[in-house]
Structure 1
């Protein structure tokens, strides 16, 4: 008896308990005269229906897209999961097929294709840039027999970030480019200026339609030098430069949002003004600073442009026996901070202008080569080099007053050649420096005073020259430099606390200049012989 039962089960594929049902079906079908092939098909269908209730094997997810851990995934995509067997469509929905960004659920629609056994989640909107997403298929999804997954299926992937466009030439004349500067407004509009054969030219970028084309701004028979540009968050711009003649003079032009206008300041040549720097506020006003030397005094002078006119220059600092030089100035849209070298203290001085008055704010002894950057929140980052060893980069931070009792060491990797500083709204404070024969190092300090790396262990991100750095309000950092293979880029992703492998934006070129707004849109321009090339960091 046991052998017959086992033989029946092994031969026709269903259990002993179903034989009475089959015998009854055979009797009915033979009595009605059903053809043999149709009879066989009918029996098989009835047996399959009977066996469904006895399928206890859980379904499995056998393939997914994107793959687990995938990087650089496109933002507009369908997220899919393919099952090992046909599933109950009613159980596959937005409560059992979940996509999250770590904090929030992503809205979308879920569909199921029974032929391919594939479930698809389609987001309602493009996913965010450089974001890690987490996908869950819960045990609530079931096959046709009612079996759920044995356990949840989970995976994650990371979307791509912005990409650099193909480099394009933005100047038309084929002369020798001497100096190049770029600045950007918060809406992504960028202003580029350069000096070419004693003439100042410009090109304006707007997110739509793009580059406006080269335009002539200013020309002279004198040699031009020390071109400096400032662009406000609202789109005003000032360009200022030095004209080298018997007695140096300083000239300036103002971009009012649609065209350039000459606003030459009253910087008399009798004081030999040199090395000008300028900052513009959100209302289109500006302050210029420069070195002066009348033969008796050495100082830092300034003049304010307000309501369409410059006021008479006055001294921020002066000395009858030692030099003041290398002034730099920045604005947060309303306030200004100026820094310069002061050899009377063998260090750096800084003063802050609050819209009405200047205040003596900060001194950093035994420092030189100052730089200054400000954020719209009113914070500032000053950077400089140790004048005694010429090996270390120090910073001072202004946040409703200068923080700490002295300069803080940021990078200590050897003799610095070129460096750049940047800050954002968070705030985080970054520095980048070219050291020695071309090693590029970075480090940062957070708002609590913590350093990302020990200064002597600052992060190496590539090899090259003339680095620049910018940070957006999501704490993502863009660094560009002149590398052996061309203009090179690396990106810091705060979610992974990692700098990407260097990527070449454009072959050949030198002196890259970088501008970025708070959303992370950036443009880099550089000199390639007699050409000015540009690339945009687009979504």
Structure 2
């Protein structure tokens, strides 16, 4: 894959602040349906003691019209880390982690395309503690919620629960019979509702598929064997329209001190494909994201721990691995592609004086090129985005104003 000039796409819209000017807002999440209608979510905290915490959502139409802001977390909660997933019609599921009472739990709530709020549901059990949920939904709105569960004996376990479009939930399921220090799981769902779930547990990366009819595959070890002093972490997953998936993950090599980026294909029934090393040997990979179009062409993006480079690579549906491309300088990338593989990468960059964080973006082409980096905000952090079926994206990020921190949004390119 080569680095090319920016394709002739329209410019991004002017950034709009969607959060309150009198609260501190963080942790934006973005979900976009196939036509471009969007649900935005973020957390806010009051600026004075006693502090009040809340989780909010706001809808944005495909033409850019903003709806009213709605608080969706119950009073007394301390919500964190929201995630959003939309079905084809714009009906959404929002999940988050919250401390309430004396423990951490995972909560979920539906928001219809017309703005109607469903009830707040506790997805995890009252004990033990639950953290860092992920969510994915199929075209009709049936969703899967996954999270990490930490128990009193010190072990951590990957968990999953179905959240159906009619508002009912399935049982809480433990994804493996053995776990020691399981990392946060990730989930992706194809158009028919078949899912791929991946997670790390110290010395291995595991993957498991779940069909739309509720059939689980065996737990597969997707990572190569390694020394006990090395380790794996941070599984990320993506699937095409047929359920063919990929799991991307970091491998820590104690001998060299480097964390390399690896990937492995996973079939719809859980069979494992080719294992690949994706990052250069000199990279110390910190954050990575992966996305697939409907035909199985995959893009992987990662940053370095020292934030001196942001790299990308493409893997075609036939298994051809493109060259490593440097998109720019920065960290915390996010990525979305449309049905045909056109998309956008966003990340947190720095201005020329390296004094202020910026929001950078580059176009992904289905033909195998990346556009050059462009700045869409001169002041911002923690960008997140999602794409329509035809490649338009909505991007949200945190911005520091004079007194408070807010959430800004733009669309394009």
Normalising by structure 2, report the TM-score: 0.83
CA drift at 1:431: 0.8
Alignment partner of 2:250 out of 385, 388, 408: 385
Residues 228, 278 of structure 1: 8 Å contact kept:
yes
Unaligned runs of 5+ in 1: 1-70, 73-129, 131-159
Give the ranges of 4+ consecutive aligned residues of structure 1 lying more than 6 Å apart after TM superposition: none
The equivalent residue for 1:427 is 296
The equivalent residue for 1:487 is 359
Deviation string 1:16-57 (CA, Å, 9 cap, x unpaired) is xxxxxxxxxxxxxxxxxxxxxxxxxxxxxxxxxxxxxxxxxx
In structure 1, how many angstroms separate the alpha carbons of the residues matched to 2:82 and 2:312?
A: 27
CA drift at 1:327: 1.3
Residues 185, 198 of structure 2: 8 Å contact kept:
yes
The equivalent residue for 1:202 is 57
The equivalent residue for 2:49 is none
Alignment partner of 1:239 out of 94, 99, 103: 94
Higher RCO (CA 8 Å, separation ≥ 6 residues):
2
Is 1:254 matched with 2:110?
yes
Deviation string 1:163-191 (CA, Å, 9 cap, x unpaired) is 21111112234322231111111111111
Residues 232, 250 of structure 2: 8 Å contact kept:
yes
The equivalent residue for 1:115 is none
Secondary structure at 1:391's aligned position in 2? strand
CA drift at 1:213: 3.5
The equivalent residue for 1:193 is 41
Cα distance change of structure 1 residues 189 and 377 upon mapping to structure 2, 3 Å threshold: farther
The equivalent residue for 1:66 is none
> Matches of residues 133-532 of structure 1 in structure 2 within 5 Å?
160-197=8-45, 198-208=53-63, 210-245=65-100, 246-258=102-114, 259-296=116-153, 298-306=156-164, 307-319=166-178, 322-333=180-191, 334-343=193-202, 346-355=203-212, 356-365=214-223, 366-388=231-253, 390-400=258-268, 405-412=273-280, 413-438=282-307, 439-453=309-323, 458-485=324-351, 486-493=358-365, 498-529=369-400, 530-532=405-407
Deviation string 1:221-276 (CA, Å, 9 cap, x unpaired) is 23222322222233222111122252222221111222221241352222222222
Unaligned runs of 5+ in 2: 46-52, 224-230, 352-357
How many equivalent residue pairs? 374
CA drift at 1:524: 0.8
Cα distance change of structure 1 residues 405 and 232 upon mapping to structure 2, 3 Å threshold: same
CA drift at 1:390: 4.1
Secondary structure at 1:450's aligned position in 2? coil
Normalising by structure 1, report the TM-score: 0.65
